[in-house]
Each structure stands twice: as C-alpha cells, then as structure tokens.
Amino acid sequence: MIPFSRITGTGSYLPPRRVTNEDLAKDLAARGIETSDEWIVARTGIHARHFADADVTSSDLAFAAAKQAIEAAGRSASDIDLIVVATSTPDMVFPSSACILQNKLGIAGCPAFDVQAVCSGFVYALTVADAMIRTGMAKCALVVGAEVFSRILDFTDRTTCVLFGDGAGAVVLEASDEPGILASDLHADGKHVGILCVPGHVSGGNVIGSPLLHMDGQAVFKLAVRVLEEAARATLQKAGKSDTDIDWLIPHQANIRIMEGTAKKLKLPLEKLIVTVNEHGNTSAASIPLALDVAVRSGKIRPGDLVMLEGVGGGFAWGAVLLNM
Ligand code: UT7
C-alpha cells in the first residue's frame, strides 16, 4: 500500500464573461422579474459570477484548469494515469466529460470517468482518486470539478438563477510518502432528491420533465448547515486532529451565510475561511477546487497547511476531506 496521496499542483479557469448582480438584475427586469444587487449580496454574499459562451462545454473549462494544474505540479499530460471529473453538467449524455478531457489533453489509455455528486462532486472525486492511489491503481491522478450551470438555470425563477455560475478547478494528486490527504467522510441521503434537482431526462429523442434546476432554498440551507459541521467533525476525528488544528476551511461556495455559520460552529476565525463565492457565485462541483487554486496562487495556502474541504448539495450528498498541502 502507498501510504498517502498528495496534491502537487492546482489550477482553475473562469470563462471571461463576468456578469455582475446589476447586469443580471437588468436582464431579469427586461423579462418582468425583479431582483437587486442589495438582495443578492445580503442573502448570499454573491456580487458576480462568470457565464460561459453557448459553444463552451464543461470539458473546455476542465481542459484549461487541468493544463494549469499539470504545469503547477511540474508534470506533463503524459504522466497522468487516472482522470476523474466531477460534474453535473457534462458535455453529452455519454461518453463522460473525463474521456472528452483525456482526448483534449492528447493522452489515451488511462482510466477516465465522471463522478456525479452535484455540489459535493469534488470531495467525492478526490476521495475516489485518493483510494485508487493508495491501493496502487494509479500514481498521478488528475481530479477536476467543472460546470456550466448557466445551461440549466431557469431565468424566470429569481430564487435560483441569481445564485450559480460557470467554471472549473483541477488538482494533480500523486502517490506520496509524505502525508497529503489525511481523512475523508462521505455521505448521501436520497430521500431529499426533490429539494435540489434537475428532474428532466432524455427519452425517445425528447426531454421528459423540466431540464432546469429546482431548489427549495430554505430546506437546502437548513440541511447544509447541519451536515457541514458533522462531516468536518467526523473527518477531524478520523485524522486524529481537532478544529484548532485547521489552517484553512474551504466549504462549498454557495452562500456566505452558510460558510460563515460553519466556520463559527468549528470555532474558526473568519480569516481562516477561503471565500470566492463573492466573485464566482455557486459553481457546484467546481467551487472547491476553484477556491483552492485561488487561495494557493494568492499565497494564502502554503505547503504544509492543514486544509478542510467540504461539499454539500443535491442528492442530498455531502462530505469532507482533510489534507496537508
Ligand atoms: O449548491 C447546493 C447548495 N445550495 C445552497 O446551499 C443554497 C441554500 N439556500 C440558500 O442559500 C438560501 O435559502 C437562498 C439564497 C436560496 C434564499 O435565501 P433566504 O434567506 O432563504 O430567502 P427566502 O427564500 O426566505 O426568500 C426571502 C424573500 C422571499 O420573499 P417573501 O416571501 O419574504 O416576500 C422571496 O420571494 O426573498 C424573495 N426572493 C428574492 N427577492 C429578490 C427570493 N429570491 C429573490 C431575488 N431577489 N433573487
């Protein structure tokens, strides 16, 4: 058994079109829907998000983020022997966005597959890659979260369309003798499918049911606050660490109120909370690796720091990963 897997490089990519709350409010007003910068900032902490152009897919965003992560790790694409992409907005029904990404990277042969755990997709994908590395099935994995949520937003529903954005984040995860990923804790509870879903499906050449995102925001909010604390505590316990050991907390970037509430429950000063929701909105599976890369590149997160990653969302699925950078 390889003792550890460790992140050796991070990368991210945001499509260039930045849409502020004011831009969005103007667009929605033209459709007779009222919202405001004040409401969005006060309820969510979001000031802007990025939207991909119509011809740009999740694997395009993933490719840009992956190239950065591979370069940061001092590797080349040919070193990658496993690709795991977390996405709920794949390029096609099949094959996986991971296979499409593999081809864009100009490599072939290594296993490549998608993980579908919505906003907790990245912690699921990282945990799967960690397990495959520690059991000797891979040595140098590319783990990506990539989304074009703008494609599944209902722009007549102000309670959801102001919340989400597009983007991708990636890490290279390598076999290591030094501690990297220390512990993970994953959960799901399928009885909550209905509170956050895109219920539509393809059948006989037609889309059956709504292909747009539906969310009971308050129900999701309440569950998220509870499970994020539980997952963090369980992960700390598995790793033999305590909340005071955490250098940085990167929760799923959905709502600043949920994120600050989680930090407070873990008795962490807000300076230890990595926040990108203000500029990215909620990018689902991409939000955690995007925030991680921003924090690494800004010099906040440094080698050796203890970082808690936490995802929560549709499924209901949630989880946490504790790691040394
Ligand atoms: O990514 C997966 C995880 N997702 C999440 O974590 C999301 C969790 N939920 C949330 O973040 C919050 O519940 C929301 C941001 C979605 C909503 O915030 P809230 O404080 O729960 O607001 P609310 O749903 O209670 O709505 C308050 C009011 C309502 O009006 P009334 O009924 O009080 O008259 C809404 O109709 O705000 C109204 N409202 C809006 N007003 C202006 C809802 N959306 C908007 C809007 N602009 N965009």
Nearest alpha-carbon partner for 121 in 149, 95, 94, 93: 149
pLDDT by residue (tens digit) across 179-236? 999 999 999 999 999 999 999 999 999 999 999 999 999 999 999 999 999 999 999 9
What does the pLDDT average to over 56-75?
98
Q: What is the DSSP letter of 9?
A: E
Q: Active-site residue 119, yes or no?
A: yes
Average pLDDT of 161-173?
Answer: 98
- The secondary structure element, H or E, covering residue 83 is strand 82-86
Q: pLDDT tens, 105-120?
A: 999 999 999 999 999 9
The whole model's pTM is what?
Answer: 0.97
pLDDT at 2 over 80: no
Residues of the chain with CATH 3.40.47.10: 4-176, 181-324
CA distance 320 to 325: 15
CB 269 within 8 A of CB 291: no
Instruction: Tell me the fold of 4-176.
Output: Peroxisomal Thiolase; Chain A, domain 1 (3.40.47)
Ligand 1 mean position to 160 CA, how many Å?
8
Q: How far apart are CA 125 and CA 141, in angstroms?
A: 11
Task: Find the residues whose C-beta lies inside 6 A of ligand 1.
Answer: 35, 39, 43-44, 119, 158-159, 162, 196, 217-218, 220-221, 224, 254-255, 258, 282, 312-313
pLDDT of 274-316, one tens digit each? 999 999 999 999 999 999 999 999 999 999 999 999 999 999 9
Residue to mutate (ligand 1; options 159, 214, 318; most atoms within 8 A of CB):
159
Class assignment of domain 181-324? Answer: alpha beta
Query: What is the SS3 assignment for 253?
Result: coil
What is the Cα–Cα distance from 160 to 28, expressed in whole angstroms?
Answer: 12
